[in-house]
Amino acid sequence: MQRLKLTTLRLSPLHFSLTSFKPIRCFSSSTISPWSGLHSWRNSPLNQNRKWGPLSPQPEPNLHDSPFGEASSLAEFGSIVLSTTDPLEKSRLSHIAFSLWLRGDLPLGQSDPPSRPARPDKPELVSTKEIPAPKNSGLPLNAYLLHNLAHVELNAIDLAWDTVVRFSPYSDVLGEGFFADFAHVADDESRHFSWCSQRLAELGFKYGDMPAHNLLWKECEKSSDNVAARLAVIPLVQEARGLDAGPRLVQKLVGFGDNRTSKIVAKIAEEEVAHVAVGLYWFLSVCQKMGRAPDFTFKDLLKEYNVELKGPFNYVAREEAGIPRDWYDSPSTSNQDKKNKDDNKEKLSEVYERVATIIAMERENSS
């Protein structure tokens, strides 16, 4: 069967043609089990736990007055957040924007995102190869790991708002729920950044104390013209990597002796499942509108946009979020796993045979 060209997904006056597709049933070779907590996450009250208390998150009073001037829509607010330089102010405005949306005081509206989000002078953005190793960073290991996570969370705020703003002209096709979900994701990420910043300050450091990379935003720019690619590249690849890295990061922090930071990171990793699940939900929705098989479309998009899938994978967390294993686990990996298991069985059989021979010889000698 010949596959449809992926240009039918592009969001431009010449190529945007989602409106020409009637919703039909998705078909796929994968079994997809959506995240069981999606309904609860969507309908949860505003999360005000923006400070980390002695043992767990604690609420911070919400500001009800809008600081957005004459802006009057969620998309316009998102553009302002993207154009805000100070990271803590970006985090605060993000929370206020979602708060006003949740209260029902805002229409979705339309706006144009900036070409790239505003950033402070520090951290200096360098290539991934130029990121210093922990021993050369000037930071202790716990602060080093936390700074890297803070950078990821700050980028995640902008990634979510860019998705809201950039695709706001197509709300009649995507549906208002799409934008509500990604504004919710932006609020979650702003809370995560707030926790990281607070803990860095407690350790005597701040965001910007070491260089950082710009890889996440470059991945975002790749998918600026294609909503399906945006969903595949950001939630289903980049954010899914957070599910893989979270447990390892927690273990490193526990090994370092920083249990407080490890609890913050564990909570962030737990909440990231929702963001991957949301990305999967809307990716499936777009594929349904196009009459495309989600598994083939996902793999084709990664190939077209030159996006690499890297393990090791946290299969438990990815399964909880609903991503089918055969979407990201290559056949060669699966075959290698099978070969390793077969090799182990053969080795065990050899061991058992040797043990049995030794036992038989001992019995023969003792009789």
> For residue range 204-227, what is the model confidence (pLDDT) as tens digits?
999 999 999 988 788 888 889 999
Whether 187 and 56 share a structural domain = yes
Q: For residue 109, which phi and psi values (nearest 5 degrees)?
A: 70, -170
pLDDT band of residue 330 (cuts 50, 70, 90) is confident
- Residue 230 near residue 237 (C-beta atoms within 8 A): no
In whole angstroms, give the CA distance from residue 101 to residue 161. 13
Whether 325 and 335 share a structural domain = no
pLDDT at res. 13: 32
In whole angstroms, give the CA distance from residue 294 to residue 57. 37
Whether 309 and 355 share a structural domain = no
pLDDT at res. 334: 47
Residues in CB range of 312: below 8 A, 6 or more apart: 244
Structure tokens at 348: 């065990």
Q: Is a pLDDT exceeding 80 seen at residue 143? A: yes
Whether 281 and 339 share a structural domain = no
Whether 99 and 53 share a structural domain = yes
Higher pLDDT, 64 or 147: 147
Whether 233 and 336 share a structural domain = no
In whole angstroms, give the CA distance from residue 255 to residue 146. 14
Whether 165 and 193 share a structural domain = yes
In a domain, 17, yes or no: no
Whether 343 and 268 share a structural domain = no
- Residue 41 near residue 28 (C-beta atoms within 8 A): no
In whole angstroms, give the CA distance from residue 216 to residue 150. 13
Structural domains counted in the chain: 2
In whole angstroms, give the CA distance from residue 186 to residue 330. 31
pLDDT at res. 305: 93
In a domain, 25, yes or no: no
Domain CATH code at residue 219: 1.20.1260.10
Which ranges of the chain would DSSP assign to H, the alpha helix? 38-42, 74-82, 87-102, 141-166, 171-174, 176-202, 215-222, 227-233, 240-256, 259-290, 294-304, 315-321, 325-328, 331-366
Whether 322 and 334 share a structural domain = no
Structure tokens at 209: 């104390």
Q: What is the pTM of this model?
A: 0.84
Burial class (CB in 10 A: 0-12, 13-18, 19+), 124: exposed
Whether 230 and 363 share a structural domain = no
pLDDT at res. 8: 41
In a domain, 312, yes or no: yes
Per the structure, the complete domain to which residue 352 belongs is given by: 330-367
Residue of 160, 177, 187 whose CA lies nearest to 98: 187
Higher pLDDT, 222 or 16: 222
Whether 206 and 350 share a structural domain = no
pLDDT tens digits for range 63-77: 556 788 889 999 999
- Residue 74 near residue 179 (C-beta atoms within 8 A): yes
In whole angstroms, give the CA distance from residue 251 to residue 63. 36
- Residue 35 near residue 273 (C-beta atoms within 8 A): yes
pLDDT tens digits for range 269-302: 999 999 999 999 999 999 999 999 999 999 999 9
CB atoms within 10 A of CB 8: 17
Whether 143 and 238 share a structural domain = yes
